[in-house]
Amino acid sequence: MDYRKAFRVEPNGKLKLNKVDPAYTGKHLSEHEAKEEIEAYREKLFHQQGLLYAENKRSVLVVLQGLDAAGKDGTIKHVFSAINPQGVSVASFKAPTPEERAHDFLWRIHPHAPARGHISIFNRSHYEDVLVPWVHKLIDKATWNARKEEIRNFESLLAGNGATILKFFLHISKEEQLARFAQRLDDPARNWKISESDYTERKYWDDYIEAFESGIPATSAKEAPWYVIPSNHKWFRNLAVSQIMADTIEELKLAFPAPTVDLRDIRRRYHAASKEGKGGKKKA
Distance CA 112, CA 120 (A): 7
Contacts of 140 (CB under 8 A, 6+ apart): none
- Please spell the DSSP secondary structure of 76-117, one letter per residue: HHHHGGGS-GGGEEEEE--SPPHHHHTS-TTTTTGGGSPPTT
Contacts of 240 (CB under 8 A, 6+ apart): 3, 7, 227, 229, 230
Q: How many CA atoms lie within 13 A of 20 on its CB side?
A: 22
Distance CA 260, CA 248 (A): 28
In the prediction, which pLDDT does 200 show?
87
In the prediction, which pLDDT does 280 show?
56
CATH class belonging to 3-278: alpha beta
Distance CA 98, CA 102 (A): 6
Sequence length of the chain is 284
pLDDT in tens, the chain (284 residues): 899 999 999 999 999 999 999 999 999 999 999 999 999 999 999 999 999 999 999 999 999 999 999 999 999 999 998 899 999 999 999 899 999 999 999 999 999 999 999 999 999 999 999 999 999 999 999 999 999 999 999 999 999 999 999 999 999 999 999 999 999 988 888 888 888 887 888 999 999 999 999 999 999 999 999 999 999 999 999 999 999 999 999 999 999 998 888 888 888 888 777 777 666 555 54
In the prediction, which pLDDT does 100 show?
96
In the prediction, which pLDDT does 277 show?
67
In 3-state terms, what secondary structure has residue 14? coil
Distance CA 180, CA 232 (A): 10
In the prediction, which pLDDT does 191 show?
87
Residue ranges of the domains in the chain?
3-278
In the prediction, which pLDDT does 284 show?
46
Contacts of 215 (CB under 8 A, 6+ apart): 127, 130, 131, 148
In 3-state terms, what secondary structure has residue 141? helix
